[in-house]
A and B are shown apart, each in its own frame.
Chain A
Amino acid sequence: MSQGKHTVAWVLAATALLWCGVGLAAESAVADTSIHAWLVRVHEASRQRAYTGTFVVSAGAKTASAKIWHVCDGTQQMERVEPLSGQSRSIFRRNDQVITFFPESRVAITEKRDSLGLFPNLLKSSDSDMGAHYQLKALGNERVVGVEADIVEILPKDQLRYGYRVWSEKRTGLIVQLQTLDLEGRVLEQAAFSELQLDAPVSMPKLAQMMAATDGYRVESPEMQKTTAEAQGWTLRRQVPGFKAMGCFLRPVAASAQGVHAMQWMFSDGLATVSLFVEPFDRRRHTREGSTDLGGATRTLTRHLDAWWITAVGEVPAATLGVFAQTLERRK
């Protein structure tokens, strides 16, 4: 993807915010209102930190929670997630390698997730037009889940995206609570630790051992073929303001149909992400056109276009998904 290469590098580096990396002196307050400067500050304040806790995601009355363990030794990050609801599974991550164990079916799925990654380099102070689409505001501080946290609000400058409130622990910069706000400023979804033990004694060798324990499991690696939208014959008639293309894959997706591959074309504006899925139209499976709101920040929208079925998924308002779906077209 030649488009927005700088932005890609910046966004990916920004995801290294809270990575164990260079340990620099923490600052005590969010003084600078520029988003970029805030991300840099949080990144610089992060240190090698181990922690455990319970993570809860809630949207309206619906919640899901998981126990988590996290440890870092300077070059490697490891994480273990045990959801307390939903299908029984254990998720392990080492940097960008993720494996999900499903004990019921004795299947383990391994993936390499390009969007994650360990970047020991500091953020480049290069361009990004996040500031053109979001406004950052410091809101002071507050004690949550037993720690002192800085609160920052990041509000959209247009109606195409959601806003966020972020609580980050003062010393480590660890994000302990994150709210996604709709266009009226109401909380759509909250992802937060309900309990947190910083500097917990997490054993990396133990996690590594658990992650490698695939005996008795059928290990599968979903076949992802890296490609470009261009090569697949698709383009966006108009760019959606703020959103840059992040990558494109051909992959199996269908729950009910074997062997069906869809193109997944991914976009991001730095905070929100959108995936456009395109697959051949199948009258039996593709019956519901329109948008859904299942609560939470993620929405979907489907559209039947000639011989194709398009599904847009993202943490954005329905109208934004509509714009994506409508501006997607076959290349001439």
Chain B
Amino acid sequence: MNPKDAASAEDSDLLLVERANAGDQRAFGLLVLKYQRRVQRLIARMVRDVDLVDDIAQETFIRAYRALHQFRGDAQFYTWLYRIAVNTAKKALLQLKRDPTVSESFLSKDEDDETSWQKNEPTSEETPETVFAAKEIAAVVNAAMEALPEDLRLAVTLREIEGLSYDEIALAMDCPIGTVRSRIFRAREAISAKVKPLLDKQTGKRW
């Protein structure tokens, strides 16, 4: 196997970080688009107030941006980002605790118990509308997956759910890497086509 082909998504993050450090702010924006939902969900497990979740999420990415030069690539980017998110949330909660005008409802649930928020609890962002919207999207994605031709579904499953690299998928499906790339792309396009109208509807905007 050619070392050049053993690319991974982690390397891709590092490439984006390097590019951002070289001055391309858009590269940082791509990382934000990629990880913001995960970061928001993480923070939502620690903090009740939905506006505060958003503020802390924004602050997390600002801190990440400032500290980007310190990211060496020896750990995964998300692991590094995750730590910044947790620290930022903890700091915010501490500050709020000191403020006598802030009511208890802003504060976290089980802040002291780090593991408690790893359970599958509803988060602060979940109003009936957002829960429904999320269910809708998940339903459409699943239905779209079901409707895919076998080879496309397998390729995208191996990539997204099993986390295999293109090389590994090529081996598993006994096909050239170019075919792997094409199948994953076509699977994504087919699913996108079904999700877009839903996002349109949910935001009143076009995707």
Contact = CB atoms under 8 A, between A and B. Distances in A.
Interface of A: 61, 85-88, 104, 195
B206 A104 contact: yes
Contacts of A88: 206
Interface residues of B, number: 5
Nearest to B51: A61
A195 B25 contact: yes
B120 to A, nearest CB: 28
B25 A86 contact: no
Nearest to A104: B206
A144 to B, nearest CB: 14
Closest 3 CB pairs of A and B: A87-B206, A88-B206, A86-B205
A104 B25 CA distance: 30
Contacts of A61: 54
Contacts, number: 10
Contacts of A86: 205-206
Contacts of A87: 205-206
Interface string B23-62: 0011000000000000000000000000000100000000
Nearest to B203: A85
B98 to A, nearest CB: 26
A304 B204 CA distance: 28
Interface of A is mostly: loop
A331 to B, nearest CB: 40
Contacts of A104: 206
A85 B25 contact: no
Contacts of B25: 195
Query: Which of B25, B26, B54, B205 has the largest number of chain A CB atoms within 10 A?
Result: B205
A195 B205 CA distance: 24
A56 B121 CA distance: 35
Given A88-B206, A104-B206, A195-B26, 4 more contacts: A85-B205, A86-B205, A87-B206, A195-B25
9 contacts: A85-B205, A86-B205, A86-B206, A87-B205, A87-B206, A88-B206, A104-B206, A195-B25, A195-B26
Contacts of B205: 85-87
Nearest to B54: A61
B192 to A, nearest CB: 14
A29 to B, nearest CB: 29
Contacts of B54: 61
A89 B25 CA distance: 24
A104 B206 CA distance: 10
A143 B205 CA distance: 33
Contacts of A85: 205
Contacts of B26: 195
A86 B26 CA distance: 20
Nearest to A146: B25
Interface string B6-33: 0000000000000000000110000000
A86 B205 CA distance: 5
A104 B196 CA distance: 13
A104 B205 CA distance: 13
B116 to A, nearest CB: 29
Nearest to B26: A195
A102 to B, nearest CB: 10
A87 B204 CA distance: 9
Contacts of B206: 86-88, 104
B171 to A, nearest CB: 39
A104 B26 CA distance: 26
B189 to A, nearest CB: 16
